Amino acid sequence: MKFMYLIITAAILCLTGGSFHISYAAEKEIINPHWNKDNCNACHKGSHPTAGNPELKFNGNTIELCNSCHSIISKDKYIHAVGMVPDEENYGKMADEFKNAIKKEGKLTCGVCHELKYQCLETESYRKENNPRFFRGGPYAKRTDICMKCHDASKYAIFNPHDQIDDKGQIKQGICVYCHNITPDRMKAKGIEDVTFRVKDDLNRLCTRCHRSEIDLLGCITNEGKTLNHHVKASLDVRERIKRFEQDNDIIFPLEPSTGKVFCATCHNPHKSGVQILSRANKGADSSKRLRSESVNSCNPCHKEGMNVSNPTQRHK
């Protein structure tokens, strides 16, 4: 497979799934040799290398070999440095197959994370479908899973803004300003109108920074499997139903102050149990899916009973 790159164009090339996509400019023809038995001589001396005598170009220096193409097509796309020798502490954390690759290469090279022979040997060709980038030990469910073969996963844990109270029962310093402009005064705040946020409109954006599935972005799924957009302005009838439900059940279902729209925190309580002083605002904290009305049908505050909607405790992700 051949691709032309022109200097007068502007962009960056990245390697995805064994094929190259134009995005960097270079007046050079690049041949993609991966998973192609007819292009062995792109990396090897001679067109028919053998397992016992692969004879790589650049005197076997895999970094120089890979960079002969990737310094152009993957410019600014490398996610890991190469050329260093791991210290004993980091070496000791590595999975055995990565340790063996380090021993073979003598240092960290492209070939430590990418097992080159996967796309060369016929016996390994089955890997192309589910591991097109020939990651060592792949395929991996997530791209970062291969990183944890060498790195300590505990040091790269995803920040959880809902983990708001420490082991002593105190609110963690600074945790509130992940969503709020300033830390709300818990003793004075009586409702959503009394606090400020890091965004002025569309408060869903505070949630969708992390929660990105279709259901997260829209709000609910019906028994027929259809996703419904709940992030709309509540009608007068719905607002009246919410108000009655709040009074009858000593609970809150806040709407977005600037628009009157239903948003994520209308149905889900983003706070840890104990953060909110008012009991009605504390309901649903730490419950399944953080649903404010977990003990009743969560659709009832807005919808008439009997509507054909699923139980969000089961279907909402």
pLDDT in tens, the chain (317 residues): 333 333 323 333 333 333 343 333 344 567 788 998 888 888 998 777 877 778 899 998 999 999 998 888 777 677 788 999 998 888 888 999 999 999 988 999 999 999 988 988 888 989 999 999 999 999 999 888 999 999 888 888 888 999 999 999 899 989 999 999 999 998 899 999 999 999 988 999 999 888 877 666 666 666 566 777 888 999 999 999 999 999 999 999 999 999 999 999 999 999 999 999 999 999 999 887 899 987 667 788 888 765 544 444 333 33
- pLDDT number for residue 296: 63
Q: What is the pLDDT of residue 307?
A: 53
Classify 131 as helix, strand or coil.
coil
pTM: predicted TM-score of the whole model, two decimal places: 0.54
Q: Helix (H, G, I), strand (E, B), or coil: what is residue 260? A: coil
Provide the pLDDT for residue 197. 95
Q: Which amino acid is at 211?
A: H
Query: Would you state the pLDDT for residue 306?
Result: 52
Which residue pairs from 273-280 have beta carbons closer than 8 angstroms and sit at least 24 positions apart in sequence?
274/165, 274/169, 275/164, 275/165, 275/171, 275/186, 276/186, 277/186, 277/187, 278/190, 279/250, 280/246, 280/250, 280/251, 280/252
CA dist 274 and 5 (Å) reads: 59
Write down the pLDDT at residue 254.
95
pLDDT for 74 equals: 78
Torsion angles phi and psi, residue 259, rounded to 5: -125, -20
The whole-number pLDDT of residue 317 equals 37
CA dist list (Å): 108 to 84, 113, 208, 237:
6, 9, 37, 64
Note the pLDDT tens digit of each residue in 261-275.
Answer: 999 999 999 999 999
